[in-house]
Amino acid sequence: MIRNFINGEYREGRTGRTFDDTNPVDGSLIDNVSEAAREDVDDAVRAAREALSGPWGSLKLAQRCDLLYAVAAEIDRRAEDFIAAEIADTGKPRSLASHLDIPRGAANFRVFADVVRNVPTESFASHAPDGKPALNYASRRPKGVVAVVCPWNLPLLLMTWKVGPALACGNTVVVKPSEETPATAALLGEVMNAVGIPKGVYNVVHGFGPDSAGEFLTTHPGIDAITFTGETRTGAAIIRASAAGIKPVSMELGGKNAAVVFDDADLDVTIAGLARSVFENTGQVCLGTERVYVQRSVFDAVVQKLADAAARLKPGHANDPDANFGPLISAEHQKKVLDYYALAKTDGAKVITGGGIPELSSSMKGGSWIEPTIWTGLAHGSRVASEEIFGPCCVVIPFDTEKEALHMANDTPYGLAASVYTRDIDRAHRFAGALKVGVVWVNTWFLRDLRTAFGGSGASGIGREGGVHSLEFYTELSNICIKLNGEAQ
């Protein structure tokens, strides 16, 4: 059984209920998960608060950062355990989990330990009205107990993307992983104990959203801040819950990201980038591309080459060395994506490739599989071209002018990410600067420097994460003003 991790110990939830953790490759049962009760969340928050004012809060910065380096090293040492847990929960190919999810999960602790060690704060020399000198300087302190509510698409990576900076800044955390992917968050508790992280610093409660662990945590009066990655409607509900205590929130929400391909683009580079951004992790990436705008003179060539890339995707069991394409996370999500596939046909889309469930071996018949899918012939304003699907699919739409492409790319309530493909450096700078998104890639996709700002605007979220930008959320900044005597004694 996968248990809650509270105050350094694994324990069953007081609800007495469990829920299934299933493998999306074949629908088989991985384990049962113990659902936390409100009292369990109370205990987790209390443990986090006691650690904050006790052993964790008394550590020097260097000691805290050394412990986070030890956490990263222990994740690396136990990489096979984390890979096994991640691919069982998500069904993603081992190659993806072993090269992205787990290494980044460890790296997040190192990166933010280094950021906190080296971040400067501002200081100003000035004078009081009487002419005496004064010194102003900034001081950072932890926010307190942070609720970390995590998604299922990149479970360890996105959870540690929040836990890493939170702990580096001296906070304590209570994590609510997705009910679809509870394993690696629970496993991380073993790492915390092994390296000597004090009890109560890292806690995990399992459950669902409304009337379960998610609601109990985000409405808890002992929580000082809430950070969430996930679907926009859930984010809106959390923001409403946070209003009661005027709690700061960091929200990384949905997207309907655009890629814009100009006729001077290197098509080999373009297709390599598009194939990843549309199909990687079965399209279950908040930064993924679902809208592709292509200048008319290269439209047919791009569509054909992207379809050829889709044809090279091979579904299979996560440990199959030839498999490079996994299932969707659940049967429920599969139904949602298939509903959009049906809607595209109803609206008159031309299905270039895909559009349904692939032919599968008998060992995968019970899984949540879907075909990588490309459509043309849909209007820019159609639902399939406007609403987030979160699957391995895209609509490809032609354009004639740069102005037209910019209008369509920006014509969305979302504002998370975009990519631009062109050899014209002036156009690249001009167009990227005019896109109303938080992240723009030029001639690439998902090339991340973890020190840079990450986040979206509009329906894509609130705030920025990464490097010193994470510190703006995980710390409180105070200005200290000292009036000096100004005379030698």
Per-residue pLDDT tens over the stretch 419-444: 999 999 999 999 999 999 999 999 99
Q: Are residues 267 and 234 in the same domain?
A: no
Q: Which of 75, 239, 263, 248 is nearest to 156 (CA)?
A: 75
Q: Is the pLDDT at 25 greater than 90, yes or no?
A: yes
In a domain, 20, yes or no: yes
Which of 286, 290, 371, 388 is catalytic? The answer is: 286
**What pLDDT does residue 485 have?**
86
Q: Is the pLDDT at 245 greater than 90, yes or no?
A: no
**What pLDDT does residue 244 have?**
86
Average pLDDT, the chain: 97
**CA separation, residue 329 to residues 112, 332, 367 (Å):** 29, 8, 9
Q: What are the φ and ψ backbone dihedral angles of 189, each rounded to 5 degrees?
A: -60, -40
Please state, for a pLDDT cut of 70, what percent of the chain lies above it: 99
Lowest mean pLDDT among 104-108, 191-195, 241-245: 241-245
- Look at residue 370 and give its three-state secondary structure: coil
Q: Are residues 236 and 317 in the same domain?
A: no
Q: Are residues 282 and 249 in the same domain?
A: no
Q: What is the DSSP string of 42-57?
A: HHHHHHHHHHHHTTTT
Q: H/E element holding 251?
A: strand 249-252
Q: Are residues 157 and 286 in the same domain?
A: no
Work out the angle at residue 104's Cα, subtended by the Cα atoms of residues 247 and 71, and round it to the nearest 5 degrees: 75
What are the tens digits of pLDDT across the range 335-366?
999 999 999 999 999 999 999 999 988 899 89
In a domain, 214, yes or no: yes
Mean pLDDT (whole number) for 66-72: 98
In a domain, 452, yes or no: no
Angle in degrees, 0-180, between the axes of helices 102-118 and 155-168, rounded to the nearest 10: 20
What are the tens digits of pLDDT across the range 287-336?
999 999 999 999 999 999 999 999 999 999 999 999 999 999 999 999 99
Does 286 participate in catalysis according to the annotation? yes
Q: How many domains are there within the chain?
A: 2
205, 4 in Cβ contact below 8 A? Answer: yes
Residue 465 corresponds to which tokens in the numbers above?
């994460």
Q: Are residues 336 and 235 in the same domain?
A: no
Q: Are residues 397 and 327 in the same domain?
A: yes
Q: Are residues 295 and 322 in the same domain?
A: yes
Domain that holds residue 143: 4-253+460-479
Does 169 participate in catalysis according to the annotation? no
Q: Are residues 151 and 239 in the same domain?
A: yes
In a domain, 37, yes or no: yes
Q: Is the pLDDT at 487 greater than 80, yes or no?
A: no
Q: Are residues 324 and 466 in the same domain?
A: no
CA-CA distance, 191 to 194, in Å (whole number)? 5
Q: Is the pLDDT at 489 greater than 90, yes or no?
A: no
**What pLDDT does residue 431 have?**
98
Which of 50, 179, 215, 252 is catalytic? The answer is: 252
CATH number of the domain that residue 369 is part of: 3.40.309.10
Q: Are residues 129 and 164 in the same domain?
A: yes
Q: Are residues 143 and 222 in the same domain?
A: yes
Q: For the full predicted model, state whether its pTM sits above 0.85.
A: yes
